[in-house]
Amino acid sequence: QKEVEQNSGPLSVPEGAIASLNCTYSDRGSQSFFWYRQYSGKSPELIMFIYSNGDKEDGRFTAQLNKASQYVSLLIRDSQPSDSATYLCAVYTGGFKTIFGAGTRLFVKA
């Protein structure tokens, strides 16, 4: 069974620090990788996607992909209290199937 694993947290970081969120996946044929942010009571919001090995940067966010290790991560630089949310890792495995992880709760302390 195809799986996406995340540490449920909570991950607590001080304001201004780097938050590092990690995710592993089981299907070596996975094609695209996504990070969603979900605030309490809201729907998931796509914040980053990556499809090739290496790093992809967008503002304070960097997604990192290592297909050999089946590992994808999200770094949030200069973390802000407004970054406090649950972050969902998702993996597109083909055939219109996307597998979502259970999410990591992030708390950024002011």
Partner 1 sequence: SAVISQKPSRDICQRGTSLTIQCQVDSQVTMMFWYRQQPGQSLTLIATANQGSEATYESGFVIDKFPISRPNLTFSTLTVSNMSPEDSSIYLCSVHDRGPYYEQYFGPGTRLTVT
Q: Contact positions toward partner 1, by CB under 8 A?
A: 31-32, 34, 42-46, 49, 51, 88, 90, 92, 96, 98, 100-103
Q: Which residues have CB under 8 Å from 21's CB, separation 6+?
A: 6, 11, 35, 73, 74, 75, 76, 87, 89, 104, 106
Which string of DSSP letters, residue by residue, matches 7-57? ----EEEETTSPEEEEEEES-TT--EEEEEEE-TTS--EEEEEE-SSEEEE
- The residue among 73 and 93 lying less far from partner 1, judged by its C-beta, is 93
- The residue among 33 and 73 lying less far from partner 1, judged by its C-beta, is 33
Least distance between partner 1 and beta carbon 15 (Å): 25
Least distance between partner 1 and beta carbon 90 (Å): 7
- The residue among 43 and 69 lying less far from partner 1, judged by its C-beta, is 43
Least distance between partner 1 and beta carbon 51 (Å): 6
